[in-house]
Structures are given as structure tokens and as C-alpha cells.
């Protein structure tokens, strides 16, 4: 179970599997992981897409300082 807590929004809880992991030592890109979500209802999927879109916009504005 994964719980995401986007600032100013309702928590998102969903069943997910980690499908890739990038360690902090790999400086070409920021550390992170890829998740595969299981059985999302349409409301949760919409909120997840909105959160991802906002995160991507924030990264473009700030840039990656790696």
C-alpha cells in the first residue's frame, strides 16, 4: 500500500508495486522510483494524474540542479 500526501490535497492511497529504483549516487538524474498502481478507481486516478502534472510543472520551473 502506498500513501501519497500532496500538499494542500487529500491523501491518495493505493496498492502499488515498485518497478524501478534510481539511487541518489546516479547523479545524471534525481533519485526516485517508478510505481505500477493496481486497480485505481476513476476518482483516485484523476487525483493521481493531477498530482503528477503539478509535480512535472514544478520541476520544469525549478530545473534539476544535479
pLDDT of residue 46: 93
pLDDT of residue 24: 79
pLDDT of residue 60: 56
Q: pLDDT at residue 16 above 70?
A: yes
pLDDT of residue 17: 95
Answer yes or no: are the C-beta atoms of 50 and 26 closer than 8 Å: no
Give this prediction's pTM: 0.68
- What percentage of residues in the chain have a pLDDT greater than 70? 86
Lowest mean pLDDT among 9-13, 24-28, 51-55, 57-61: 57-61
DSSP code, position 56: H
* Residue that has been written with the C-alpha cell 517508478 in this structure: 34
Answer yes or no: are the C-beta atoms of 15 and 41 closer than 8 Å: no
Over its C-alpha atoms, the chain yields an Rg (Å, rounded) of 13
Domain boundaries, the chain: 2-60
CA distance 24 to 44: 29
13: its cell numbers? 492511497
Amino acid at each position: 500500500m502506498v500513501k501519497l500526501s500532496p500538499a494542500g490535497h487529500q491523501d491518495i492511497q493505493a496498492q502499488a508495486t515498485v518497478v524501478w529504483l534510481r539511487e541518489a549516487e546516479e547523479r545524471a538524474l534525481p533519485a526516485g522510483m517508478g510505481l505500477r498502481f493496481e486497480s485505481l478507481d476513476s476518482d483516485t486516478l484523476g487525483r493521481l494524474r493531477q498530482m503528477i502534472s503539478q509535480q512535472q510543472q514544478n520541476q520544469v520551473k525549478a530545473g534539476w540542479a544535479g
